[in-house]
Structure 1
Amino acid sequence: MEEIRCRSHVLVAMLAFVAAVLPSTVAGGLCRESCGNIPVRYPLGIDDGCGSPYYRNLLTCAADNATLRLRTPSGTYPVTGADYSDPHLVVTDPSMWTCARPFTAVHAAPFSLDTSTRFSLSPRNDYLFFDCDEARVIVAPRPASCDRYPGRCDSACDSAGYLCRNLPGCRGALEDGNMTCCEYRPRAAASLRAILRHCEAYTSVYWRAGGGGDESAFAPYDQAPAYGVRVDFEIPVTTRCLQCQDKRRGDGGTCGFDTATRDFVCICDDGRNSTTDCADGHAPGRHGSAGVVAASVVSISAIIGVAGLVWYIRKIRPSKVVTCGVQSNENRFF
């Protein structure tokens, strides 16, 4: 019995050794280029190792591959639009008031962003607050002097705001006076949270470029309001990424990064990873995946190491049954 127990301990040690030296297996699938009807391109990514490491793990795609979501400190929100020529996402907060989803007095934390990321709230966002406690919130028409000295008016919520009278999709919906409204442009998310504590509901409206919808109702403006939060992002452009995407250097690849080191990687359609581009060239070894070579070397080393360990254990095994301990000086491991 003691011999069997000792051998089982040795087997566990061998398995632990193999697990330690063999490289972990990473899914070799290519980067997904969309989630639902939302395109996902550099610098964004929904698969680890795709896009820029600055946006790692900030976007997720639902299991049904139909809903793209953005992770923030205040929650996870559906993404309804993405633009890469004017880099921004459009995010919706299910707790926000809209014409299609009337006032429900749902108290929830307003949308906020982690300021340490490359995402930022767009200055094109306006926030509307409904039925605020005027003993706690300054609700008053915005003076004309605020346009010249905006810093002096940060604490007031504008009761004469344009959007309160022109709600997207239901202009004049508040004219019957059943609910008060004021418009606010905060400098920080903390201001939003402070105001919402004393209001029944809020919504976010961003200004989008004209073209379709009910933009004609807001002529002669070249932008129209729409429900949602516009989140701007930066596109870090590097020479290596441009070379990777250049179709003159082969089929063109996808810019990504090594999940362990965060170093740049060019992900090719045939599954290869390169530090430059996906060109076939005359020296394919230079463009081949360094990870494959390293994995082969480590695997061979692991086999040699395990074989050596087995040989060593057989060599030092005593002629008689021993307990899992030191029997004599002849069979000591150390």
Structure 2
Amino acid sequence: MQHPLKHHLTLTLLALTSLSHFPPASPLTPCRTLCGTTAINYPFSIDDGCGAPQYRSMMNCTGTDLFFMTTSGRYKVQSIDYNKQTMVVYDPAMSTCSILQPHHDFVMTDVESVVIPPSSDTVFALLNCSIDSPVLNRYKNLCFNFSGHSCDELYGGCNAFRVFRSFTNSSPPCCFTGYDTVKYMSMNILDCSHYTSFINVDGLKGIGPADWVYGMKLSYAVPDTGCGRCTRSGGACGYDTETGVMMCLCSTSMNATRECGKKLILD
């Protein structure tokens, strides 16, 4: 019969040997990194206190869908390109070539307009404008030629927009313009009944509106806060929710100012 002490030592050695085959535990940061299949990386976050404070409360994860939040609604995130620092969103209340939606404004907060505005290759089309519209009179310089496309092409090539020609058998005025126009003037002031927007406009010459990509591409900058040092140490970049001071979030019970230490308290 084996001595009890020897038996205990044998079991202890076996347990230690087994543990040595498992990789060391990694820090459990309080920041989620996925919404559905969309990666959530710095500077964005879906948890308060994570990411950069400039982008606080801009993202919402509902089920498997990620939304960009503004004062005028929720805009579904189609994709995020972290290399090019762009995000494509879609306005579910926006008119497109295939559907005519009720009157709607696209409004961003002052902070959003600065840190993540629509990119230069996003064009807004103001549709069914009155002849008294300011963009056709005093501010007509805000309208520009868009890759040789015309209002007639939009009204004739899109099933949803043909209704605008049904009463007069002619195309009402429209205006191709940039984000700054809809930023400073509402649809009521613009005196246009609907709008649509499309992206990657440099590649749309000679392509009909039925094949345009409808949505908005937003361009953002990544704050330089030394975030790489934090992530390399196993943490996630975040901030103090009261002061806005950047922090390295190492676990749900331990944070650091720059990087996570070698010994972390795990929950």
TM-score (norm 2): 0.69
1:149-194 per-position Cα deviation (integer Å, ceiling 9, x unaligned): xxx8534476995275776xx9933797555443222534344515
CA distance in 2, matches of 1:87, 1:159: 24
Residues 1:226 and 2:213 are matched in the alignment: yes
> Which residue of structure 1 lines up, in the alignment, with residue 192 of structure 2?
199
Residues 1:129 and 2:111 are matched in the alignment: no
> Which residue of structure 1 lines up, in the alignment, with residue 68 of structure 2?
70
Q: For 1:172, which of 133, 144, 157 is the aligned residue?
A: 157
The alpha-carbon distance between structure 1 residues 216 and 100, as it changes in their structure 2 partners (threshold 3 A), is same
RMSD (Å) for aligned C-alpha atoms: 3.8
> Which residue of structure 1 lines up, in the alignment, with residue 182 of structure 2?
189
CA distance in 2, matches of 1:86, 1:54: 19
CA distance in 2, matches of 1:196, 1:160: 26
CA distance in 1, matches of 2:128, 2:146: 11
Residues 1:256 and 2:241 are matched in the alignment: no
Identity level (%)? 28
The alpha-carbon distance between structure 1 residues 136 and 259, as it changes in their structure 2 partners (threshold 3 A), is closer
Maintained 8 Å contact 2:86/2:217 = yes
Maintained 8 Å contact 1:160/1:182 = no
Q: For 2:78, which of 74, 77, 80 is the aligned residue?
A: 80
Q: For 1:243, which of 229, 235, 260 is the aligned residue?
A: 229
Partner SS, residue 187 of structure 1:
helix
Maintained 8 Å contact 1:161/1:183 = no
Looking at both structures, which has the greater relative contact order when contacts are Cα pairs under 8 Å and sequence separation is at least 6?
Answer: 2
Residues 1:154 and 2:150 are matched in the alignment: no
Q: For 1:115, which of 90, 106, 110 is the aligned residue?
A: 110
CA distance in 2, matches of 1:257, 1:59: 16
- Unaligned 5+ segments in structure 1 are 1-27, 141-151, 219-223, 293-334
- Unaligned 5+ segments in structure 2 are 1-27
1:220-272 per-position Cα deviation (integer Å, ceiling 9, x unaligned): xxxx9521111211101222x121122xx4xx221111223322222236863
Q: Choose 1 or 2 for highest CA Rg.
A: 1
TM-score (norm 1): 0.56
Residues 1:266 and 2:259 are matched in the alignment: no
Aligned residue identity for 1:242 = G
The alpha-carbon distance between structure 1 residues 217 and 184, as it changes in their structure 2 partners (threshold 3 A), is closer
Residues 1:100 and 2:98 are matched in the alignment: yes
CA distance in 2, matches of 1:160, 1:84: 28
The alpha-carbon distance between structure 1 residues 165 and 202, as it changes in their structure 2 partners (threshold 3 A), is same
Maintained 8 Å contact 2:240/2:247 = yes
CA distance in 1, matches of 2:43, 2:151: 36
1:49-69 per-position Cα deviation (integer Å, ceiling 9, x unaligned): 11011111121112x2x2222
CA distance in 2, matches of 1:263, 1:155: 40
CA distance in 2, matches of 1:137, 1:261: 44
Aligned residue identity for 2:228 = L
CA distance in 1, matches of 2:81, 2:150: 24
The alpha-carbon distance between structure 1 residues 238 and 166, as it changes in their structure 2 partners (threshold 3 A), is farther
Partner SS, residue 268 of structure 1:
strand
CA distance in 2, matches of 1:268, 1:88: 28
Offset, 1:73:
2.5
